[in-house]
Amino acid sequence: MPKAIDEILKDDKKFTEVAKLAFDSVDTDKSGQIDASELEKIMSQIASDMGTDPPSKKDVMEVLEYLDEDGSGKISFDEFKKLIRDVLTAMLEDD
């Protein structure tokens, strides 16, 4: 797995494809941006998969504010790509 993650991180085209697939799966209304309700759904799904409590509204808003660099109240694809890069980098470092 680390080799595959490393290859994705080093290849901008592969990375963008992976990030776009993830983004599209979260952007359920296909608006091109992730809003608070879409973010809450994915965070709740992740919490459920991990066997932890669902996020509070405050948790969701904190994540949204952290990722929303332009202050639009939504997460753009470019903002989302930074999250995916951070997650993949963390996975690589953990192995």
pLDDT digits (tens, 9 = 90+) for 12-36: 999 999 999 999 999 999 999 999 9
pLDDT computed for residue 83 by the predictor: 87
**Token pair belonging to 48:** 């459920």
Name the 3-class secondary structure at 85. helix
Q: Which domains does the chain have, with CATH numbers?
A: 2-94 (1.10.238.10)
Q: For the whole model, what pTM was predicted?
A: 0.83
**Token pair belonging to 42:** 């994915």
Mean pLDDT by 10 residues, the chain (95 residues): 88 95 95 96 90 94 94 96 89 80
Contact predicate 18/6, CB 8 Å: no
pLDDT computed for residue 95 by the predictor: 67
